Amino acid sequence: MKCYGVIGDPIGHSLSPVMHNSQFNTFGIDAIYLPFHVNNEGLRNAIDGMRGLKIRGMSVTIPHKESIIKHLDAIDEEASKIGAVNTIINENNKLIGTNTDGKGFINSVIDYGFSLNDKKVLIIGAGGASRAIIYRLSLSGVSSITVANRTTSRAEELLSEIGIDCKNTVISLNDVSEIIDEFDLVVNTTSVGMSPNISDIPFTFNKVKKGSHFIDIIYNPYETKFLNRASSLGATVQNGIGMFIHQGAIAFELWTGKEANIKLMEKVVVERLGEKNNANR
């Protein structure tokens, strides 16, 4: 039996095991995907263990996405540009890091049916998730990418480190409300509004562009206040489940060479999320 897993701290609430095991089961692959609770001090040993036990693939989540890099044999260009790894592939005991978050985001938007071609995009936030999304968006045919962040210097740094051209602009979070109706796609990549702080919103707004699409990478709650507001103003909305599933689907394909069953992944993840929410009530 082949072994795969996810390392993070905390890890108990990870939806990755149920998502990946559904694929091993449905494709009849003799493999298991396990959650591994690894803190910062244990990271080196965990990676040595991955080599020693010949674990075939590993997902990497908070807080290890950046600090894992120094323990790997190589990372690809995307992980290098983003400065973070979310997926490790064990190729004959050579550990290769990549990052499937940005591509997962793009695939989730395509899956939803929203065309990115020539669109004006606003990204809220300049952390790790924002970086992965912006890197891929810059390759996807959008007409412009604007980044709004509480700390504008962090957004400027992000763009220059990714090497994105000057068509891109940075604005303060305080100025977003005024111009939000200029954008076709608005994406919240901050953790503002995540459970338990469900009444928080990154900024208030009273207008949206006709035909615009809003995405929150949060999926707990299922609909954040940010999405709820956008929806009530007439925008179409999408939560972060799509990005989560699609980043996992790409990892699964890298590990097994098989195209993931996205619908099944979504079904088991949504079911598990519902169970967790009921248990917390």
Could you give the residue numbers annotated as active site? Answer: 65
The 130-169 contact track toward ligand ATR, x by CB under 6 A, reads x------------------xxx--x---------------
Among 125, 240, 242, 248, binds ligand ATR (CB under 6 A): 125
Structure-block tokens of residue 119: 């669109």
**Cα-Cα-Cα-Cα dihedral of 10, 89, 34, 1, to 10°?**
-170
**Minimum distance, C-beta of residue 262 to ligand ATR, in the bound complex (Å):** 23
DSSP 69: G
- Round to the nearest angstrom and report the end-to-end CA distance of the chain: 38
Q: Which is nearer to ligand ATR, 154 or 209 (CB)?
A: 154
d(CA 135, CA 158): 10
Selected range binding ligand ATR among 42-50, 96-104, 184-192, 226-234, rule: CB under 6 A: 184-192
Q: Which among 245, 266, 2 has a CA at the least distance from the CA of 101?
A: 245
Beta carbon nearer to ligand ATR, 176 or 268: 176
Among the listed residues 190, 212, 220, 224, the single contact to ligand ATR using CB under 6 A: 190
Quick one: which of 32, 28, 36 has its CA closest to 6? 36
With CA atoms as reference, report the closest residue to 257 among 75, 14, 91.
91
Number of residues binding to ligand ATR, judged by CB under 6 A: 16
Residues found near ligand ATR in the complex (CB under 6 A): 125-130, 149-151, 154, 173, 189-192, 202
